[in-house]
Amino acid sequence: MLSARDVRLLPKAHLHLHFTGSMRPSTLLELADKYGVHLPEALTSGEPPKLRATDERGWFRFQRLYDAARACLREPEDIRRLVREAAEEDVRDGSGWLEIQVDPTSYAPMLGGLIPALEIILDAVDSASRETGLGMRVVVAANRMKHPLDARTLARLAVRYADRGVVGFGLSNDERRGMARDFDRAFAIAREGGLLAAPHGGELTGPASVRDCLDDLRASRIGHGVRAAEDPRLLRKLAEKGVTCEVCPASNVALGVYEKPEDVPLRTLYDAGVPMALGADDPLLFGSRLAAQYELARRHHGFTDAELAELARQSVRGSAAPDDVQAKLLTGIGHWLEG
């Protein structure tokens, strides 16, 4: 029998949430109407779009939907609203710490340039954190579809704003394009500037992409990383190094990486000792937020409340949250389990 403990009350950290993808569907519709943006039917039906991104055509469709949503973010107030609402949703789901991932170059044309865009985003994060009580920071992510020199520019910018709320440097988009090693210099700049390295890997391609993130980018976290389950030696390496995989179960199924929720190798990773931080990835497109990922682990993988609590602890320990914030969250996890 499944426990009645509410996973929304379980304190946790959220380490894998993309900026535009965090938007509420109702907010997207309002902003599209405000700016006269014609949205694809998949974004207006009220149901999560059916996405299969494991082939080129599917990934193109996914990107088209994401780009359509991003086109609705045009003014600083839109940014502030998105961040505030993302924080409210996370608080509702029990998150005490959120690291939201963003490529500011995507918003620069609308917001007056790269530096103004990042400053607007960081100001919005600071305001939302104060208003909601949620600890919030930013992971600046480069786009692996662009030139590695662009990534170096972003890495330098991210380091420059490390004292304003940037805690990490990522690498997103289709991991089937380009090599991780092409971005090694950008990640070296970020690491030397005190930022954690959190590239995507092991989602659309297999274990080799996770290994490349470890060897070439010296990743301290892996965005997704689930395909590491196909390589026992790689699992041991992740466990030994304590590299946290930001696993997004609902996203994996929606994008066709796995056919059914029970196919996502949560148990394999967990039993191998690989730290995990469950994440919602892009709730706008996948239809479920943070707490739902824990519920998925419970219902489809038989995770007990003690194991869910351990997943929450792993998310906290894998975060860039200050020691006092981590201690508070870890204490709260203990109270949830005792209650």
Q: Which two tokens stand for residue 222?
A: 């892996």
Q: What angle do CA 201, 294, 322 make, to 5 degrees?
A: 70
Cα 295 from Cα 10, distance rounded (Å): 11
Contact present, 197 and 230 (Cβ < 8 Å): no
Active site residue 203: yes
Cα 39 from Cα 321, distance rounded (Å): 37
Cα 121 from Cα 79, distance rounded (Å): 7
Cα 333 from Cα 125, distance rounded (Å): 25
Rg, C-alpha atoms of the chain: 18
Cα 252 from Cα 52, distance rounded (Å): 10
Q: Which residue has the tokens 């029990």?
A: 94
Contact present, 176 and 200 (Cβ < 8 Å): no
Instruction: List the catalytic residue out of 203, 240, 295, 338.
Output: 203
Cα 339 from Cα 337, distance rounded (Å): 6
Task: Answer positive or negative: Cα dihedral of 109, 114, 115, 119.
Answer: positive
Q: Identify the bridge partners of residue 196 per DSSP, sorted by sequence position.
A: 168
The DSSP symbol for 276 reads B
Sheet strand arrangement including 12-18: 12-18, 95-102, 135-143, 166-172, 196-201, 221-224, 244-246
Cα 192 from Cα 291, distance rounded (Å): 34
Count how many Cα atoms sit within 13 Å of the Cα of residue 115 in the half-sphere of its side chain: 5
Catalytic residue numbers, as ranges: 203
